[in-house]
Structure 1
Amino acid sequence: MDPAEFARTMAHVPSPVTVVTTMDGTGRRWGFTASSFSSLSLDPPLVLVCPAKTASCHKAFVAADRFLINVLSVHQSAVARHFARSGHDKFADGSMEPCEYGLPGLSTAAARLACTLHEVLDGGDHSILVGRVDAVFTGGSEPLVYYNRDFTRPESCALTPAS
C-alpha cells in the first residue's frame, strides 16, 4: 500500500477534532490536537484517542492516570492549530481552565470527556489510549470536523421518510 495514497483516502473520512490534555506528576500540563478519536464501548464506557509516538507529549500521556478530551466547537479551529504545533507553550494563551479532575479544558468545547487511562495499545506510529469515561460535559455547540485536510462544520442531513 502506498502511504501517500492511504493518506489521501483517509483525508476524505470526516473526523471530530479534539484537544486532549493531561497533567504529569509534577503538575506540568500537556496537550495535543487529535482527529483520531472514537467511542469504543458503552459497557464499560470506553473511548480511544491516538497520540503520535514522535510527539513531545507522548510519554506524558502513556503514563497519565487521567486525561481530558475536549471535542472542539466549530469556532475553535485556531485552538486546534495552536495545539497541533510543537515547540511552544501550548497553555500560555490562557484558553484552558481547570475542568473535570482539575485537568485543563475548554469551557466552550462542544463536549468534554474525562477519562481514566484504561489501557495503552500499540498502533504502529501512534499509541492507542483507551480511556474509561468517568464524567462528561455537553456544551451544545456544533463540533469542529476535519475533512479533506481542512477544518469545517458538519452538514446537517435532512432524512426523508421511506415510502
Structure 2
Amino acid sequence: MRAIVGQGRFAVNILGVRGQEISQLFASREGQGKFDQVGWEPGEVTGMPLLQATVAHAECELTGTVEAGDHTVLLGRIVGGAVSEQSPLAYWRGDYARLTP
C-alpha cells in the first residue's frame, strides 16, 4: 500500500481463466520479484505494470484512502484501460471458478 500511496497511481489487472498460477503467485506472501516471474508491460497512461495474461485492466490515479477495520481501501479514478471478450478468472469461497453467461 505504501508504494501505491507514494506513486499516486496503480493498475488493476483482471486475469483470465488460465491465470490461476499468476493469481497464486501474487497472493503468496513470499518475497520480492513477482513481476520478474510474469510477462508484463508498462501502462500507456500511468506506466504501472499491466500483466499480459489479463482479460481487462484499469489504470488509475489514486484519489483517496479509507480505513476499514484492519484494511485500507484505495480509491482511484480510472484514466485508462482495456477489456477483451475472454472469460475472467473468479475466486469464490476458497476455490477458483468460471463465470458463465
Cα distance in 2 between the residues matched to 1:60 and 1:115: 14
After superposition, residues 1-163 of structure 1 pair within 5 angstroms as 58-88=1-31, 89-100=33-44, 101-156=46-101
Does the 8 Å contact 1:143/1:153 carry over to 2?
A: yes
Matched residues, percent identical? 31
TM-score by length of 2: 0.87
The letter for the 1-side match of 2:22 is: V
1:121-148 CA-partner distances (Å, limit 9, x unpaired)? 1011110100001111012211111112
Gaps of at least 5 residues in structure 1 are 1-57, 157-163
CA RMSD of aligned residues (A): 1.4
1:76-113 CA-partner distances (Å, limit 9, x unpaired)? 01111000112322112142222232211123311100
Per residue, is there more strand in 1 or in 2?
A: 2
Aligned positions, number: 99
Runs of 4+ that moved beyond 4 A: none
Gaps of at least 5 residues in structure 2 are none
TM-score by length of 1: 0.56
Cα distance in 2 between the residues matched to 1:87 and 1:149: 19
